[in-house]
Amino acid sequence: MRKTADALARCALELPELAHARTVAAYVSVGTEPGTLPLLDALHARGVRVLLPVLLPDNDLDWGPYEGEGSVLPVQYGGRMALLEPAGERLGPWAVTEADVVLLPGLAVDARGLRLGRGGGSYDRVLARLERAGTDPALVVLLYDAEVVDRVPEEPHDRAVHAVVTPSGVRRFRTPH
C-alpha cells in the first residue's frame, strides 16, 4: 500500500497544476482508496496550503487546514468507517473556492473524464459550489489504474474532471483555464 501511495504521489507531483498551486483541496484516503498521505505531506512540505474536508450532517463538506501528520483525527460517522479529518480550525464550505487544484476521490473515471463517486453527493456539492463561485480549479481524481474505465453512469449534474492520476501515470481529459 505504501509503495502504491508513493507512486501516486510521484505522478501527481509532476502535474504542472500542482507545481504552481498555492492552495490545494485534497482528502485523506480511507479503506481501499489509493493512499494520499505521502502526497499531502509533500505538498505541505512545499509550503502549499492544503485543505481537507470535514463531513457535515447533511453530507456537505466544510474544510480545515492540513498541518502535517499529527493534524488529522479519526472521526466516526454512524456505521460507516472512520474518516481522518483536520483537527483544527473550520474554514467553512466556501473555503474550497480558494483552491487552485481540487483532488477528488472516486470509484472510477471514464474516457470522457466523468467521475463516479460513492453516491453521497458531497463532491457533487463541492463542484456545484465551485461553479457558482465562478472558479475553475484543476479537478484531478486519484485512482488505481483499473478504476479508469470506458464508461460510468452519467447524471445531468456530472462535471468532467481535468485529469486522473494513477500509480502508473496521468491521463488528461481537458485542460484547465
**3 state SS for 52-63:** EEEECCCCCEEE
Residue 177 in domain: no
Residue 96 in domain: yes
CATH number at residue 124: 3.40.50.10420
Residue 158 in domain: yes
Query: Residues annotated in the binding site for ATP, as ranges?
Result: 115-123
Full-prediction pTM beyond 0.85? yes
Domain boundaries, position 58: 2-172
Residue 34 in domain: yes
Query: Residues annotated in the binding site, as ranges?
Result: 28, 33, 115-123
Query: Residues annotated in the binding site for substrate, as ranges?
Result: 28, 33
Give the number of domains in the chain: 1
Residue 55 in domain: yes
Cα separation, 168 vs 145, in Å, equals 7
pLDDT in tens, the chain (177 residues): 678 999 999 999 999 999 999 999 999 998 889 999 999 999 999 999 999 999 999 999 999 999 998 899 989 887 766 889 999 899 999 999 999 999 999 999 999 999 998 878 899 999 999 999 999 999 999 999 999 999 999 888 788 899 999 999 999 997 655
Q: Which residue has the cell 481537458?
A: 174
